[in-house]
Chain A
Amino acid sequence: MDNAFADRLRKKSFLLPEAYGNEFAKRVFQRKDILFALAVLLFFIGLALFAPLISPYDPNAIDLKNKNLNPSEEHLLGTDYLGRDLLSRVLIGARTSLSIASGVVLISLFLGTAAGCAAGYYGGIVDESVSRVIDIFLSFPGVIFALTIMGVLGSGVFNLMLALSIVHWAKFARMMRGQVLSIKKQEFVLSAITGGAGDFYIIRKHIVPNAIATLLVLATIDFGHVILSISTLSFLGIGLPADVPEWGAMLSAGKEFMRTAPCQTIFPGLAITLVVVIFSILGDGMRDILDPNHEGGEIY
Chain B
Amino acid sequence: MKNKSSPLFILLIILLICSFLVASGCSSTEESDSKEAVSGMEVASGSDASSQPGGSSEANSEGDTLVLGEMWEIDSINTVNGGGGTLICEKAAITETLVGANEDFSLKPGLATSWEQLDENTWKFKLRENVTFHDGSSMTAEEVKFTLENVIKANAKVASMLKVDTIEAVDEYTLKIKTREINPILPGILHYPDTAIISPSSFDESGEFVKPIGTGPYKFESFDEQTRVLTVVRNENWWGGKVGLEKMVLKGIPDPNTRAMAIENGEVDFTVDVPYSETDRIDALDGITVEKYKTPRVYKLDINLKHEPLEDIRVRQAMSYAIDRHEIAEHVLYNVGEAAAGPFLPTMVWANKSLSPYTRDLKKADELLTAAGWVDTNGDGIRDKDGKPLKLNMMTYSARPGLPPMAEAMAAQLKEAGIGVEIEVMEMGSIDDRREKGDWDLYLAAYNIAMVPDPEYILTNWYTTNGTDNKPGYSNPEVDALITEARKITDLEERYKKFNDVEAIVSEEQPMIIVAYYGCAIVKKDYVKGYVFDPTAHDYRINAGMYIEK
User: In this assembly, does B150 line the interface, its C-beta being within 8 Å of a C-beta of chain A?
Assistant: no
Tell me the bound Cα distance from A61 to B404 in angstroms. 16
| Pairwise interchain contact B404-A253, C-beta atoms closer than 8 A | yes
Could you say which of A198-206, A223-231, A234-242 contacts chain B? A234-242
A243-B405 in contact given A68-B277, A257-B277 (Cβ < 8 Å) = no
Could you say which of B235-243, B289-297, B418-426 contacts chain A? B418-426
User: In this assembly, does A82 line the interface, its C-beta being within 8 Å of a C-beta of chain B?
Assistant: yes
Nearest B residue to A156 by beta-carbon distance? B424
In the bound complex, residues from chain A placing their C-beta under 8 Å from that of B411 are 60, 243
**Which one of A237, A243, A258 lies within 8 Å of B423 (CB-CB)?**
A243
Tell me the bound Cα distance from A169 to B528 in angstroms. 56
Nearest Cβ on chain B to A75's Cβ, whole angstroms: 16
In the bound complex, residues from chain A placing their C-beta under 8 Å from that of B467 are none
User: In this assembly, does A143 line the interface, its C-beta being within 8 Å of a C-beta of chain B?
Assistant: no
A82-B412 in contact given A237-B425, A242-B425 (Cβ < 8 Å) = yes
User: In this assembly, does B187 line the interface, its C-beta being within 8 Å of a C-beta of chain A?
Assistant: no
Tell me the bound Cα distance from A255 to B405 in angstroms. 13
In the bound complex, residues from chain B placing their C-beta under 8 Å from that of A82 are 331-332, 405, 408-409, 412
In the bound complex, residues from chain B placing their C-beta under 8 Å from that of A260 are 277-278, 281
User: In this assembly, does A259 line the interface, its C-beta being within 8 Å of a C-beta of chain B?
Assistant: yes
| Pairwise interchain contact A242-B407, C-beta atoms closer than 8 A | yes
User: In this assembly, does B401 line the interface, its C-beta being within 8 Å of a C-beta of chain A?
Assistant: yes
Nearest Cβ on chain B to A52's Cβ, whole angstroms: 14
Nearest Cβ on chain B to A204's Cβ, whole angstroms: 42
Number of A positions contacting B (CB below 8 A): 25
Tell me the bound Cα distance from A68 to B277 in angstroms. 10
| Pairwise interchain contact A155-B257, C-beta atoms closer than 8 A | no
Instruction: Please give 6 more A-B residue pairs, beta carbons under 8 A apart, in addition to A81-B405, A151-B430, A154-B426.
Output: A64-B331, A82-B412, A242-B407, A256-B277, A257-B275, A260-B277
In the bound complex, residues from chain A placing their C-beta under 8 Å from that of B328 are 64
Q: Which of B143-194 contact A (CB under 8 A)?
A: none
Tell me the bound Cα distance from A190 to B426 in angstroms. 54
Tell me the bound Cα distance from A61 to B277 in angstroms. 20
Q: Provide 20 A-B residue pairs closer than 8 Å at the C-beta atoms, listed in order of the A residue.
A: A60-B412, A60-B415, A62-B413, A64-B327, A64-B409, A81-B405, A82-B408, A151-B427, A151-B430, A154-B424, A155-B424, A155-B426, A237-B398, A238-B427, A241-B425, A242-B407, A242-B408, A256-B275, A257-B277, A259-B281
| Pairwise interchain contact B408-A62, C-beta atoms closer than 8 A | yes
In the bound complex, residues from chain A placing their C-beta under 8 Å from that of B511 are none
Most chain B beta carbons < 10 A, residue from A67, A241, A256, A258: A256
In the bound complex, residues from chain B placing their C-beta under 8 Å from that of A259 are 278, 281
In the bound complex, residues from chain A placing their C-beta under 8 Å from that of B423 are 241-243
User: In this assembly, does B472 line the interface, its C-beta being within 8 Å of a C-beta of chain A?
Assistant: no
A61-B275 in contact given A67-B331, A238-B427 (Cβ < 8 Å) = no
| Pairwise interchain contact B256-A256, C-beta atoms closer than 8 A | yes
**Which one of A60, A155, A255 lies within 8 Å of B425 (CB-CB)?**
A155
In the bound complex, residues from chain B placing their C-beta under 8 Å from that of A62 are 408-409, 412-413
Q: How large is the interface on B (under 10, 10 to 19, 20 to 34, 35 or more residues)?
A: 20 to 34
Tell me the bound Cα distance from A255 to B398 in angstroms. 14
Q: Which of A15-35 contact B (CB under 8 A)?
A: none
User: In this assembly, does A65 line the interface, its C-beta being within 8 Å of a C-beta of chain B?
Assistant: yes
Tell me the bound Cα distance from A83 to B405 in angstroms. 11
In the bound complex, residues from chain A placing their C-beta under 8 Å from that of B429 are 151
In the bound complex, residues from chain B placing their C-beta under 8 Å from that of A65 are 331
Q: Which of B304-340 contact A (CB under 8 A)?
A: 327-328, 330-332
In the bound complex, residues from chain B placing their C-beta under 8 Å from that of A151 are 427, 429-430
Tell me the bound Cα distance from A97 to B193 in angstroms. 47
| Pairwise interchain contact B422-A241, C-beta atoms closer than 8 A | yes
Tell me the bound Cα distance from A113 to B430 in angstroms. 34
- Lowest 5 A-B CB distances belong to which pairs? A64-B331, A62-B412, A256-B275, A242-B423, A242-B425
A253-B277 in contact given A64-B332, A82-B412 (Cβ < 8 Å) = no
| Pairwise interchain contact A256-B281, C-beta atoms closer than 8 A | no
Tell me the bound Cα distance from A253 to B401 in angstroms. 10
In the bound complex, residues from chain A placing their C-beta under 8 Å from that of B332 are 64, 82
| Pairwise interchain contact A256-B404, C-beta atoms closer than 8 A | no
Nearest A residue to B412 by beta-carbon distance? A62
Taken residue by residue from 489 to 524, chain B's Cβ proximity to chain A (1 for < 8 Å, 0 otherwise) reads as 000000000000000000000000000000000000
| Pairwise interchain contact B408-A154, C-beta atoms closer than 8 A | no
**Which one of A237, A243, A256 lies within 8 Å of B408 (CB-CB)?**
A243
| Pairwise interchain contact B424-A242, C-beta atoms closer than 8 A | yes
Tell me the bound Cα distance from A243 to B394 in angstroms. 11
| Pairwise interchain contact A253-B426, C-beta atoms closer than 8 A | no
Taken residue by residue from 369 to 412, chain B's Cβ proximity to chain A (1 for < 8 Å, 0 otherwise) reads as 00000000000000000000000000000100100110111011
Q: Which of B425-476 contact A (CB under 8 A)?
A: 425-427, 429-430
Q: Which of A56-85 contact B (CB under 8 A)?
A: 60-62, 64-65, 67-68, 81-83
Tell me the bound Cα distance from A259 to B275 in angstroms. 12
In the bound complex, residues from chain A placing their C-beta under 8 Å from that of B256 are 256
In the bound complex, residues from chain B placing their C-beta under 8 Å from that of A255 are 257
Nearest Cβ on chain B to A153's Cβ, whole angstroms: 10
In the bound complex, residues from chain B placing their C-beta under 8 Å from that of A83 are 331
| Pairwise interchain contact B398-A81, C-beta atoms closer than 8 A | no
Tell me the bound Cα distance from A81 to B277 in angstroms. 9
